[in-house]
Structure formats: structure tokens, C-alpha cells
Amino acid sequence: MRKLAVLILVLCFLSNTAWAGVYEAKKKTGEYEVGIKVDRNPLVLGDNNISIEIKDGGGKYVTDTKVLVNYYMPPMPRMPPMNYRTDAKLKKEQYRATMHFIMSGPWYIVVIINRAGKTSTAKFNVDVQ
């Protein structure tokens, strides 16, 4: 009986870690393709690291732009707005930032690209657990 209980616990642990991974999504915005990767899937309360790849129409990485990450929860009755911004720093061909979620539920991540006086945005819907 004890061996069966240990086996069940091991299988539960392995099944949970098999689902954990990276959240990935892509969007086309204007002349860019924006891909995001978050180091947790599902996203969780606390710190979540995001990396952003931006490619032009020819598939080349865009590395000469300012990138801002705006993440916010949709407005809810009797709750103050939850809206945060952080600059993403370029590291090789990816822009990186850390988002800190303070509440479970639906959130939006908006990648704001400022390049050569033009602004483009890509909006992603995520759930934080």
C-alpha cells in the first residue's frame, strides 16, 4: 500500500512538471511580427520574465527600437486599476523585462514599439494563476 502511495505521488509530481513550461505567442502589428515568451506557463503571481522578439517584414530581427511592456488587468467594479509599465532591455536579439503580477485572473500584455518616430503595439491576453 505504501509503495502505491509513493508511486501516485511521483506520477502527480511528474505530470505537474510536464505541463510547466514557457508561454509563447505571436502577433502581427503593422510591419512587425512580435513574439513573446514568458518563463512560466501558466503565468503566476509575482515575477514573470518576458522576452520579446521583433522581426520586420523580411524576417530580420529589429534591434534598434525602444520597447515598453504595459501589463494591466481589465477594470472591475469596486477595484482600483492595475496598470504597470516597464522598459524592456535589449539583450542580443531579444528585449527582456520582468512583470510582477499582484492578482490572479485575466491580464493584458501590450508590447509598445517606438521606432523612428512611429509607434506600434501588439496586445496579448493571458491568465495569471
Q: Kindly report, residue by residue over 93-116, the tens digit of the pLDDT.
A: 999 999 999 999 999 999 999 999
The predicted structure's pLDDT at residue 32: 98
DSSP 11: H
User: Considering the domain 22-128 in this protein, what is its CATH number?
Assistant: 2.60.40.1930
- Entry pTM: 0.83
Burial class (CB in 10 A: 0-12, 13-18, 19+), 9: exposed
Given this model, what pLDDT does residue 76 score?
Answer: 86
**What distance lies between CA 24 and its chain's CA centroid?**
7
115 contacts 66 by C-beta, under 8 angstroms: yes
Q: How many CB atoms lie within 10 A of CB 109?
A: 22
User: In sequence order, which ranges of 1-129 are alpha helices (DSSP H)?
Assistant: 2-19
- Reported as a single tens digit per residue, the pLDDT across 1-17 is 665 444 454 444 444 44
d(CA 109, CA 27): 12
